[in-house]
Amino acid sequence: MKKVTMTLLIFNFVFFYSCNNTSSENKTDTNEVVKSEKSETKKPKPEKFNVWAASDPHVTVDAMHGVECMQLAFRQSEGYFSFLPEHERQLAGIPPAFDWDVMLLAGDLTSSQYPPLDGEGEIFVREFETLKNHYREDVYTLAGNHDGSYTDTGLGSWFQKWADPMGENTATSGVNNDNRRFKPEGTWERYKFEAGNVLFLMLADQNSAPNPVGRGNSVDNKPGGFPAGAVTRETFNWWKEQVLANQDKIIITAHHHVLRNTTTISNAGGGAGIHANNTGDFEGASYLYYIIENSDLDNFEYTMSRPGEPGPFEVFLEEFEKENGKPAIDVWVGAHSHSHPQDVKDGRSLIEQKWGVTFMQVAALTHYHSGRTPMSWMLSFSEGSDTYDIGNYIHRAPYYNHIPKSMMESKGVNAVGTEAPEGGLEKNGWYEPNAQTFTLRHKFSGPEADTRPELN
C-alpha cells in the first residue's frame, strides 16, 4: 500500500510539473483558448427577424372595463393563457404564441379627451410588467393624438414622462437604454434606430400644438382628441434627409397616421363617425393632415394635405418614384383609424401599396375604445431574402359578446352582435385572409444574435 501511494504521489507531481513547465514551443496561449471557446459559443445570426406592429391600446378606457389589452397581447405572444376565462377558451380556442424581436407601438396609448394624467401613465407602465421573455426596451413607442399635452404644459410632456422612447425618465417610465438591443437616436418627436440593414424612422404626432392643429393652451381647456395628424416641418426635413442618406437600407417609417388616400379610412372626410372632433372639421381626421410650419405661439402657421393640395410627404414619395423608378422607402406603419380585419373603404383595404411603398393600417389593440377588433400585425424578414411576410393576429375574436350594443352605437359604430362578421373571425390567432408577401428594395441582412441575458 505504501509503495502504491508513493508511486501515485510521484506520478501526480511529475504530471503537475510537466503541465506547468511545457516549453514555449508546445505551450498553448491561454488567451487563444478563451478566444476559441468564445468563437465556438457565439450565437449564430438568426434566420428570421420579426417586427411586431401594433397601436391604439387606449389603456384608460379598457382599464375602466377591467381589460388590460396590452397585457393580453403580451401574454398571447409569450404563450401564457391560464388567465383566459374557460368559456372564451372554448369559444375562440387557445391562440398560438409567436416570436418577435422588436415591437412598434404607434400611439394612442391613452383614451383621454383631455390631456392624459399621471395616473394614466401609471396604468400604461404597469402593463409592461407582464412581459417575461422580452425586455420593456424591445418596445419602441410613438405619440398619438390622444397622448398630447396642452401647449403651455410642455410639448409631449406626458409622453416623454411615461412612454419615454429616449430613456430619459427611467424613474417613471421604467425604460433603461442600457437594456436596449438597438439604441435610438434623436428626440421624442423624431428618432431612429437600426437593426441589421433595416432603418426605422419613428415620427410622433404633434397634438400638443395650438388650435386648431392640437389641444392648445390649458387656459382654453378644450376637450377632444383633435384627431387630424400633425408633424413639424423640421420633422419632415429630418425624415427626408434620413431617407435620402440611407438608400442602401431597408427603410420602415412609423407614424400614428397613414398618408391621405393610402389605406382604408384615410380619405378626406373619412374620419366622420369614427373620430370625434370638437371643432367639427372632419376633413383630415383620419390621416396625416397638418404640417406645422412655425411653432411660435404668436405666429403659428401650418399647411394641410387636402384633395388637390398634397402634403410634403406625398409629394416627395411620388416624385422620388418617378425620378428613380423605385420607391423611396419600403414600409409605412400607421394606425389611428380602428378597423376590422376585412374593412375596405373606397376600394382600399388595411394594406395597400402606393408610390411603391407598402402602407399598413395596424390599429387597434383596444377592446372598448370605438369597439372594433383587437388585433396587431407582424412583419417577418428572412436572412438574404428580398421579400418579407405580413401576418394579421386577432387578440380577442369573440369580443362582440362583451360590448353593449348601446355603447357601440354611441360611438357611431354599427353593432355586429354576437355573430362573427363575414370572413370567419371566430378564433383568436393568425387571420389567414390577411397574410401577404411583399418585395423589399434590398435583400435583408439581419442583426447579430441578441447577446443580452435571457429574462426567463
Residue 172's domain is classified under what CATH number? 3.60.21
Examine residue 21 and state whether it is found in any structural domain, yes or no. Answer: no
Rg for the chain, CA atoms, rounded: 26
State how many domains the chain has: 1
Residue 39 in grid coordinates: 468563437
Euclidean distance between the first and the last CA atom of the chain, given in angstroms as a whole number:
53
403 falls in which pLDDT band (50, 70, 90)?
A: low
- Can you give the pLDDT at residue 25? 37
- Can you give the pLDDT at residue 211? 87
Examine residue 39 and state whether it is found in any structural domain, yes or no. Answer: no
- Can you give the pLDDT at residue 27? 36
Examine residue 69 and state whether it is found in any structural domain, yes or no. Answer: yes
User: How confident is the model over 205-225, as a mean pLDDT?
Assistant: 89
pLDDT digits (tens, 9 = 90+) for 271-311: 877 776 555 567 899 999 999 998 777 889 999 999 999 99
Examine residue 396 and state whether it is found in any structural domain, yes or no. Answer: yes
User: How confident is the model over 400-407, as a mean pLDDT?
Assistant: 58
Cα distances (angstroms) measured from residue 115 to each of 180, 378, 450 = 29, 31, 38
Is the pLDDT reported for residue 436 higher than 80? Answer: yes
Residue 31 in grid coordinates: 488567451
Residue 256 in grid coordinates: 400614428
Examine residue 28 and state whether it is found in any structural domain, yes or no. Answer: no
Average pLDDT of the chain? 84
- Can you give the pLDDT at residue 112? 83
Is the pLDDT reported for residue 121 higher than 80? Answer: yes
Least confident of 138-147, 373-382, 397-406: 397-406
416 falls in which pLDDT band (50, 70, 90)?
A: low
Examine residue 421 and state whether it is found in any structural domain, yes or no. Answer: yes
Is the pLDDT reported for residue 29 higher than 50? Answer: no
Least confident of 152-161, 220-229, 319-328, 396-405: 396-405
pLDDT digits (tens, 9 = 90+) for 332-387: 999 999 888 888 988 999 999 999 999 999 999 998 887 778 999 999 999 999 99
Cβ atoms of 257 and 287 closer than 8 Å: yes
Per the model's pLDDT, the better-predicted residue between 45 and 99 turns out to be 99
d(CA 380, CA 49): 6
pLDDT digits (tens, 9 = 90+) for 149-197: 999 888 899 999 999 999 999 999 999 999 999 999 999 999 999 999 9
444 falls in which pLDDT band (50, 70, 90)?
A: very high
Is the pLDDT reported for residue 434 higher than 50? Answer: yes
- Report the share of the chain in percent with pLDDT over 70: 80
- Can you give the pLDDT at residue 95? 79
Cβ atoms of 395 and 88 closer than 8 Å: no
If residue 77 lies in a helix (H) or strand (E), which one and from where to where?
helix 69-78
- Can you give the pLDDT at residue 31? 43
Examine residue 81 and state whether it is found in any structural domain, yes or no. Answer: yes
Supply the DSSP string of 211-273, one letter for each residue: TTTS---TTT---S---SEEEEHHHHHHHHHHHHHTTTSEEEEEESS--TTSSTT-STTTTTT
408 falls in which pLDDT band (50, 70, 90)?
A: low
Structural domain that includes position 384: 50-439
Cβ atoms of 316 and 241 closer than 8 Å: no
Q: Is 117 left (phi over 0), alpha (psi -120 to 50) or beta?
A: beta
244 falls in which pLDDT band (50, 70, 90)?
A: very high
Residue 434 in grid coordinates: 390577411
Examine residue 454 and state whether it is found in any structural domain, yes or no. Answer: no
Q: Is the preceding omega at residue 184 within 30 degrees of 0, hence cis?
A: no
- Can you give the pLDDT at residue 8? 33
